[in-house]
Amino acid sequence: MTVLLEAKNLHITFGAVKAANGVDLHIDEGEFLAIIGPNGSGKTTFLNLCTGYIRPSEGEVYLDGKPITRLPPRTIARKGIARAFQIPQLFLDQTVLTNLMLAIASREGLWQVGKALGRPAYRDEAMALLAMFNLADCAPTLASTLPEGRRKLVDIAIALALKPRLVLLDEPTSGVSALERFALMETLMGALRQAKVSALFVEHDMDVVERYADRVVVWEAGRVMAEGKPEAVFKDARVIENVIGVA
């Protein structure tokens, strides 16, 4: 397996809290890696570090073996790392369709003078993505008026619209009803497999992790406590005691 993203000895501290305390982690091409751990253990901070939103006080992040630690989020996004957020990040004053078309247009750069965003090619691709997540009926809706669960799906669709090589998903099933949870993951993972996109997802639902992750990393207090196949990790007594009981 080829290593796609690798973090080496990452450190960052917020006041007295060590959100990353010597983190070493990698994700291979085509792999679905899940991160689990208690709230406040540094999982989202790790995603922020990988995408250039914050910079570590020590350590490096590599993409294809090249350091990306000091690059801003937009440059890292252009290198093929997309992100969906725990709290959906949408353009609230614009329609769902425009949200998607803007993401699609950004792949080619925005400096296309005289060409409308609503051109058929962008519209068709956006509608296909929305249809995949059963959101086609939301296309003309203002993003601000969507219920939380649907905002979450739009946020994920925006990340996929970038056609990334790696997508970072921060609690993709939070805010989604229990009935829709597995349907969402089936759709999402199916689309990722088809497009050969790797995924790193932070998740609290152990059933989701067990079913969809190739490998699990257990986080505690800014460190990797355990990692391995889900079936093995979930039998680890320390994980059961410290994480699964409270995850």
Give the footprint of another protein on this chain (CB under 8 A): 51, 53, 72-75, 77-78, 82-83, 89-95, 98, 101-103, 105-107, 110-118, 140, 142, 158, 162
Nearest to 10 by CA among 64, 70, 56: 56
- Whether residue 201 contacts residue 30, with contact meaning beta carbons closer than 8 Å, is answered with no
Residue 12 CB, nearest distance to another protein (Å)?
A: 19
User: Looking at beta carbons only, is 51 or 198 nearer to another protein?
Assistant: 51
User: Looking at beta carbons only, is 47 or 226 nearer to another protein?
Assistant: 47
Ranges of H-type helices in the chain: 43-50, 73-78, 96-107, 120-132, 148-161, 178-194, 206-212, 230-233, 237-239
Coil/strand/helix, residue 157: helix
- Whether residue 29 contacts residue 5, with contact meaning beta carbons closer than 8 Å, is answered with no
- Whether residue 42 contacts residue 27, with contact meaning beta carbons closer than 8 Å, is answered with no
User: Looking at beta carbons only, is 23 or 161 nearer to another protein?
Assistant: 161
User: Looking at beta carbons only, is 127 or 206 nearer to another protein?
Assistant: 127
Residues 6 or more apart whose CB falls under 8 angstroms from that of 78 comprise none
User: Looking at beta carbons only, is 120 or 140 nearer to another protein?
Assistant: 140
